[in-house]
């Protein structure tokens, strides 16, 4: 089970404490002790930062720790993800999140905490072998084969995942897309687990609000000594698909 944080707006003044919080729980996740989850999220990490000037996507096979310096980021959208690999999933840089796909309409990025059954998804997609592909990557391919606006595609992919048993564990998902030919960005986030799994504190996502920014965080980060103080925070409702939109600007 992975840990991740999503920020949008003018978040530059709070990026470092959120990055430190994620680095802290990536080394030693105190919440995981109570939920029988991995105590560390050492199987690689990645960052996406979309601003008016650039798209920065970096993925690393080495662990995220407090010894890693905060990367340069600019206002817009940012996702940071620290990975704890699911059983049987591949290791190394190519399995670090975020993942990226594009088509004639959208440029799309995803991070995921949990487990989708990539082999069952592939019975529908018929990609050939997906043995060496990440389950989150295969889920993104499912999203991209749907029709309509990106929000509808994500909604349909999650509905199919529940109906057909693709969702085997957690389904905490962040999706960020840019519509081609515009500066319009869609931000989509969702938290749930399969019916067979208990939905506890470890699985929850929380919405955060500052004066110039908004964010969504995995629950563990709230317990870090680096987590920012005096910010609005509320638990997200399980199973609901949340959306936000923004335009990239100076």
58, pLDDT greater than 80? yes
Q: Are 40 and 29 in contact (CB under 8 A)?
A: yes
Give tens-digit pLDDT for 120-170.
Answer: 999 999 999 999 999 999 999 999 999 999 999 999 999 999 999 999 999
Question: Which pLDDT value is given to residue 249?
Answer: 67
Question: Which pLDDT value is given to residue 6?
Answer: 98
Question: Which pLDDT value is given to residue 235?
Answer: 98
Confidence of residue 196 (pLDDT cuts 50, 70, 90): confident
Helix (H) and strand (E) counts for the chain?
Answer: 5, 12
Question: Which pLDDT value is given to residue 168?
Answer: 92
Q: Are 2 and 81 in contact (CB under 8 A)?
A: yes
97 or 89, greater pLDDT:
97
Give SS3 for 51.
coil
Q: Which two tokens stand for residue 27?
A: 């080394």
Q: Which of 209, 249, 201 lies closest to 228, judged by CA?
A: 209
Confidence of residue 60 (pLDDT cuts 50, 70, 90): very high
250, pLDDT greater than 60? no
Question: Which pLDDT value is given to residue 172?
Answer: 97
Residue 206 sits at φ, ψ, to 5 deg, of -125, 135
Q: How far is CA 50 from the centre of its chain?
A: 14
37: β partners: none
Delineate the domains of the chain, giving CATH numbers in brackets.
3-247 (3.60.20.10)
What's the average model confidence in pLDDT over 212-217?
A: 98
Entry pTM: 0.96
Please state whether 29 falls in left (phi above 0), alpha (psi between -120 and 50) or beta. Answer: beta
85 or 224, greater pLDDT:
224
Confidence of residue 90 (pLDDT cuts 50, 70, 90): confident
Q: What is the 3-state secondary structure (H, E, C) of 94-130?
A: HHCCCEEEECCCEEEEEEEEEEECHHHHHHHHCCCCC
């Amino acid at each position: 089970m992975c840990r991740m944080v999503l920020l949008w707006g003018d978040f530059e003044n709070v990026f470092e404490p959120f990055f430190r919080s994620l680095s802290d729980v990536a080394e030693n996740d105190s919440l995981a002790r109570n939920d029988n989850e991995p105590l560390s999220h050492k199987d690689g990490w990645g960052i996406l930062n979309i601003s008016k000037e650039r798209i920065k996507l970096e993925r690393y096979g080495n662990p995220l720790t407090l010894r890693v310096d905060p990367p340069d980021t600019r206002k817009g959208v940012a996702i940071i993800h620290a990975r704890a690999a699911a059983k049987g999933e591949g290791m190394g840089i190519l399995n670090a999140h975020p993942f990226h796909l594009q088509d004639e309409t959208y440029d799309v990025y995803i991070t995921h905490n949990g487990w989708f059954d990539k082999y069952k998804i592939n019975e529908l997609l018929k990609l050939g072998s997906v043995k060496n592909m990440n389950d989150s990557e295969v889920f993104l391919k499912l999203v991209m084969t749907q029709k309509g606006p990106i929000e509808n595609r994500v909604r349909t992919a999650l509905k199919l995942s529940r109906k057909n048993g693709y969702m085997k564990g957690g389904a905490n998902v962040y999706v960020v897309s840019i519509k081609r030919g515009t500066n319009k960005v869609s931000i989509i986030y969702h938290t749930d687990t399969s019916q067979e799994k208990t939905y506890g504190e470890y699985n929850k996502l929380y919405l955060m609000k500052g004066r110039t920014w908004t964010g969504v965080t995995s629950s563990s980060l709230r317990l870090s000594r680096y987590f920012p103080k005096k910010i609005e925070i509320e638990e997200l409702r399980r199973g609901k698909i949340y959306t936000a939109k923004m335009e990239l600007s100076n």
